Amino acid sequence: MATLDTIDMADLDAQATARPRRWHIAVFLAPAVLIYTVVMILPLVETLWLSLLRVDPKTNTSFFAGLVNFQTLFGDPRWSASFWNALRNNVWFFIINMVVQNPIGVALAALLSVPTLKGRAFYRTAIFLPTILSFVIVGFIWKLILSPLWGVAPSLLKSVGLRHLFHPWLGMADSALTTVSLISVWQFIGIPMMLIYAALLSIPDEVLEAAEIDGITGWSQFWKIKLPLILPTIGIISILTFVGNFNAFDLIYVTQGALAGPNFSTDILGTFLYRTFFGYQLQLGDPNMGAAIATVMFAIILVGVCIYLFGVQRRLRRYQF
């Protein structure tokens, strides 16, 4: 069958070269390629280019400046302090997301995939709910709940005798970033849960039955059979989280404002880019420095994606059923 197909295709190709140009292919591709190129790819390329330019303050014209913006970003103590602070915070944001969402996601998915469980649709729907809400809603919900003014969080803690544990977490430099990261986990836990759940369901019964015949059941079945089979899914979740976290902006902007307070303790690359581009307080916006930061973010994401594609994904064995 396969050989027949290829012969057919070769035939068609031979005819195609003999036929006049197949314009319909161009017509089918044109709108998507045009919009994608003009609105997405060219601006991305232009942003990389803008990071190499400076504006002459006297004539107000751009000129090629080489790597001057990057020298400022990494060399000027004020810029580099802000940059490394944002990058460090961003890494911590990502770590908290990964460390908290994956175990909880796997645990919830494992519970949901138990065949005898009743009320599965209800649990699924309820736990996925925060994922569909916008950052604005999520950010404000938690801002209100954690606010010492309203007192929902303190009174809840009081009811279990832990009132002394309450602090205005979002307002304190030590805990604000971790709190925002946990809010982000709360919002997005549905995605790892559903993807892992789907991966668990796609494990064929024969594999599990074979394991049971070999006496591998319960916990050891989960660790030895199921977990290795869902590792590729966890890899995909990790890279999705990585890309999402390293261009995150909205949640921090909503809960902590563009200044990513208190004292820049929640500043990540996205908010740093926004402030640099648009300016804040007395500092004027600087598109070229903004472009330089966007270029660095681009490089970080590219490195992450490459590590995933060439390092992680190749090594994870894909099981074909």
Residue 129 CB, nearest approach to another protein (Å): 6
Phi/psi of residue 280, nearest 5 degrees? -155, 155
Which parts of 74-133 interact with another protein (CB under 8 A)? Answer: 104, 107-108, 111-112, 114-117, 119, 121-133
Measured between alpha carbons, how far is 168 from 257 in angstroms, rounded to an integer? 16
> What track of x and - describes contact with another protein for positions 235 through 274 (by CB under 8 A)?
-x--x---x---x-xx--xx---------------x----
What DSSP string describes 89-113?
HHHHHHHHHHHHHHHHHHHHHHHHT
Measure CA 34 to chain center: 27
User: What is the phi-psi region of residue 215: left when phi exceeds 0, alpha when psi lies from -120 to 50, beta otherwise?
Assistant: left
The site for another protein, by CB under 8 A, has a size of 98
Six-digit token pair at 100? 């908290």
Helices (H), the chain: 2-18, 23-35, 42-50, 68-75, 77-112, 120-132, 135-145, 152-159, 176-188, 190-201, 205-213, 218-221, 227-246, 250-256, 269-278, 287-306, 313-315
For another protein, the binding residue among 44, 162, 165, 307 (CB under 8 A) is 44
Token code pair at residue 105 = 């996601």
Residue selected from 7, 14, 39, 165 as contacting another protein according to rule CB under 8 A: 39
Residue list 203-242, contact with another protein (CB under 8 A)? 212, 217-218, 232-233, 236, 239
Closest C-alpha to 183, from 252, 83, 129, 125: 252
- Identify the CA nearest to 101 among candidates 226, 195, 173, 200: 195
CB of residue 14 to another protein, shortest distance in Å: 11
- Give the residue with the Cβ less far from another protein, 28 or 310: 28
20 binds another protein (CB under 8 A): no
Q: From the CB of 130, what's the least distance to another protein, in Å?
A: 6
* Binding of residue 283 to another protein (CB under 8 A): no
- Percent helix, strand and coil across the chain, each to the nearest 5: 75, 5, 25
Q: Which of 7, 43, 88, 283 is in the footprint of another protein by CB under 8 A?
A: 43
Instruction: Determine the interface stretch with another protein among 22-30, 57-65, 91-99, 169-177 (rule: CB under 8 A).
Output: 22-30
Residue 14 is a binding residue for another protein (CB under 8 A): no
Does residue 18 interact with another protein by CB under 8 A?
A: no
Position 32 contacts another protein (CB under 8 A): yes
Closest distance of CB 24 from another protein, Å: 4
Nearer to another protein, 176 or 248 (CB): 248
Q: Which of 88, 95, 150, 163 binds another protein (CB under 8 A)?
A: 150
